[in-house]
């Protein structure tokens, strides 16, 4: 019993971090999608952490004590195997929010996707026709893509399914672009350009907090 202990044993952990939040899954939640110019393209791309390294770079922060000097900073290395586009989903607006108006999947899903779900083999042409009949109600188009962790060093085979919004162009252009991607691979260079800045959303193991 706690009242009869002869050794001091204070509580473990800090109450400052309660309640301890835990992620519901491996994939981070994107709460805001940016507005982009130009033709339609995906607005996000998932990656797997491969390790860390350090970079020697110039400190360009105005007012920093090390401004203009070389500093060593930590860097995370990501593996980004191509995505397989398994389908797309369209959304309309109702009651101040988004509601799904329909979705279309490829007939033959990747073999590893069977580890995650059992997809019915349907005629996607019928699904696409139903979607195009509601094009005036569509406000957002997203592709449904599967990751390929088998191609990385993380030791997983089970893929993750993510929805990635298509930005740029009109709704018709986004819909045609999504149809052209069905069953194909999307690579990192199709989404981001070298030297650009990106926002990163990640899931951590917690480390006791």
**168 CB contacts (<8 Å, ≥6 apart)?**
36, 37, 38, 39, 40, 41, 174
CA distance 167 to 173: 10
pLDDT in tens, 23-70: 888 888 899 999 999 999 999 999 999 999 999 999 999 999 999 999
Tokens 């980004």 belong to residue: 80
Is the model more confident about 13 or about 36? Answer: 36
The pLDDT value recorded for residue 77 is 94
Tell me what the mean pLDDT of segment 182-209 comes to: 87
Q: d(Cα 131, Cα 112) in Å, to the nearest integer?
A: 28
Which residue bears the tokens 């930590």?
74
Q: Residue 36 class from Cβ within 10 Å (0-12 exposed, 13-18 middle, 19+ buried)?
A: middle
| Average per-residue pLDDT for the chain | 89
- ∠ CA 63-67-72, nearest 5°, is 125
pLDDT class of 3 with cuts at 50, 70, 90: low
For domain 41-45+81-189, which CATH number applies: 3.30.1430.10, 1.10.10.10, 3.90.1150.10, 3.20.20.80?
A: 3.30.1430.10
pLDDT tens for each residue of 113-162: 888 888 777 778 888 999 999 999 999 999 999 999 999 988 889 999 99
Whether the Cβ atoms of residue 2 and residue 191 lie closer than 8 Å to each other: no
Would you give the distance in Å from CA 51 to the centre of its chain? 19
Rounded to whole angstroms, the Cα distance separating 27 from 14 reads 27
Domains of the chain, residue spans: 41-45+81-189, 48-79
Q: Is the pLDDT of residue 1 over 60?
A: no
With 0.85 as the threshold, say if the pTM is over it. no
């Amino acid at each position: 019993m706690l009242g009869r202990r002869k050794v001091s044993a204070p509580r473990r952990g800090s109450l400052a971090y309660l309640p301890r939040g835990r992620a519901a899954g491996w994939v981070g939640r994107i709460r805001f999608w940016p507005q982009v110019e130009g033709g339609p393209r995906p607005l996000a791309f998932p990656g797997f952490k491969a390790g860390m390294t350090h970079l020697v770079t110039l400190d360009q922060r105005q007012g920093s004590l090390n401004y203009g000097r070389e500093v060593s900073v930590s860097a995370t290395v990501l593996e980004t195997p191509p995505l397989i586009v398994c389908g797309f989903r369209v959304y309309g607006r109702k009651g101040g929010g988004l509601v799904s108006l329909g979705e279309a999947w490829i007939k033959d899903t990747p073999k590893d996707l069977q580890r995650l779900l059992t997809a019915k083999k349907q005629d996607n042409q019928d699904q696409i026709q139903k979607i195009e009949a509601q094009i005036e109600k569509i406000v957002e188009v997203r592709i449904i893509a599967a990751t390929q962790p088998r191609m990385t060093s993380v030791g997983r085979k089970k893929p993750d399914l993510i929805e990635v919004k298509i930005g740029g162009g009109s709704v018709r252009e986004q819909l045609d672009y999504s149809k052209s991607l069905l069953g194909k691979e999307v690579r990192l260079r199709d989404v981001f350009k070298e030297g650009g800045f990106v926002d990163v959303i990640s899931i951590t193991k917690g480390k006791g907090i």
